[in-house]
Homo-oligomer: A and B are copies of this chain.
Amino acid sequence: MARPRTQDPDELFALAREGDRLALARMLSIVERGGDPARAVGRLVHAHAGAVATVGITGAPGAGKSTLTSALIAQMRADDERVAVLAIDPSSPFTGGAILGDRVRMGDHATDDGVFIRSMATRGHLGGLALATPEAVRVLGAVGFPWIVIETVGVGQVEVEVAGATDTRVVVLNPGWGDAVQANKAGLMEIADVFVINKADRPGVSEAVRDVEQMLELGADRAWRPPVLTTVGTTGAGVTELWGAIRDHREAARASGELADRTAARQADELHRIVAERLLARARELGGGPRFDELLGAVAQRRLDPWSAADQLLGGEA
């Protein structure tokens, strides 16, 4: 298949819906870069984006998230579910595929038309990831992937937010003491719907399970109590149960209304962010003028603190 030369959103979308993976990849690149071309793609797919199920897989670097994701995909494919993966983890072999060829275990799924894997850059414009991810999810939904797995490293502020903005949130820990404590500090315990102790062929599994259970005891009562599963990503042990837990959570969340609540909260959050992004563009305009330079000079000379400078710059505007 020849690489599509077109950058026209309508043509790319038509090609992508026919299964052209390069056209799909190009649409996602446009979304990732942001700006007016991304808006054109967004307007186009919005009406076609069906109901998708999103699964967030997060945890510290080295927790084995990518291997586990690959094993999970195999389970999903065994049930004939089409699935796309967005990898937002600089330590993921998916993200690093181009450089770390031999580490790309996703090669297992490379020839499967029912699987699409894409890395998203964690750098770029402020708030870029938080805005580009829901748009990318809509693109994937509109071209026919009802399941979307979002793999993020659960360490940074933006990355935890992105992982949190999914229907079912899987937090991956490893055996031994302390991992659950770190996850708690990173804000992962409160977003988890399913816990996985991966690499469960190593010592310390029962301690890790106990740590998580104790934290769950201390936490707020929720209608859904997150199960604590054990898996070995490299062998696939426990991954059937993980896939079952994801579907169970989805069903329970649908029945309780939690799924609808989360969808509504995500839509409101996204609209807030977009309004903010539009205002930021205005801020960048203000940041280019002579008045900005004048006030910046006053800050540099310590005649003015930066918040007072901002207030003077904005005047009655905000």
Binding site for B on A (CB under 8 A): 39, 42-43, 46-47, 49, 60-62, 90-91, 95-96, 99-100, 122-123, 126-127, 129, 153, 155-160, 178, 181-182, 185-187, 263-264, 267-268, 270-272, 274-284, 286-287, 292, 295-296, 299-300, 302, 304-311, 313-314, 318
For the residues of A in contact with B, the DSSP-based class is helix
Using known A-B contacts A95-B185, A157-B123, determine if residue A276 contacts B271 with beta carbons closer than 8 Å: no
The answer to whether B305 and A287 touch across the interface, beta carbons within 8 angstroms, is: no
B271 touches A90 (CB 8 A): no
12 residue pairs bridging A and B, Cβ less than 8 Å apart:
A61-B155, A91-B185, A123-B160, A129-B157, A155-B159, A157-B157, A157-B158, A268-B287, A270-B306, A272-B283, A275-B313, A280-B280
Write out the residue numbers on chain B whose beta carbons fall within 8 Å of the beta carbon of A318.
278-279, 281-282
How many copies of this chain are found per oligomer? Answer: 2
Nearest B residue to A281 by beta-carbon distance? B318
A267 touches which of B160, B268, B306 (Cβ 8 Å)? B306
- Which of A42, A153, A182, A185 has the most chain B CB atoms inside 10 A of its CB? A185
B274 contacts A310, C-beta separation under 8 Å: yes
Complex formed: what's the CA distance from A281 to B96 in Å?
37
- Would you call A282 and B279 a contact (CB within 8 A)? yes
Q: Smallest CB-CB separation from A282: which chain B residue?
A: B318
Known: A156-B156, A264-B300. A306 touches B274 (CB 8 A): yes
User: Quick one: given A158-B157, A279-B318, A283-B276, are A186 and B271 in contact (CB under 8 Å)?
Assistant: no
Once bound together, how far apart are the Cα atoms of A158 and B311, in whole Å? 24
Instruction: Say whether B186 contacts A90, CB under 8 Å.
Output: yes
For the complex, give the distance between the alpha carbons of A112 and B58 in Å: 39
Chain B nearest CB from A160 CB (Å) reads 8
Residues on B with beta carbons closer than 8 Å to the beta carbon of A159: 155-157
Give the most central of A96, A156, A187, A263: most B CB within 10 Å. A156
Which residues of chain B come closer than 8 Å to A305, judged between CB atoms? 42-43, 46-47
A157 x B156 contact (CB < 8 A): yes
Q: Which residue in B96, B155, B264, B282 is a CB contact (below 8 Å) of A155?
A: B155
A275 to B296, CA, bound (A): 12
Alpha-carbon distance between A122 and B160 when the two chains are bound, in angstroms: 10
User: How distant is A275 from chain B, measured CB to nearest CB, in Å?
Assistant: 4
- Whole-angstrom distance between the alpha carbons of A96 and B180 in the complex? 12
Shortest CB-to-CB span from A296 to chain B, Å, is 6
In the docked arrangement, what's the CA distance between A182 and B187, Å? 24
Measured between beta carbons, the chain B residues less than 8 angstroms from A268 are 287, 296
Q: How far is the CB of A27 from chain B (nearest CB, A)?
A: 15
Which B residues touch A292, using CB under 8 A? 271
Report chain B residues within 8 Å CB of A264: 300
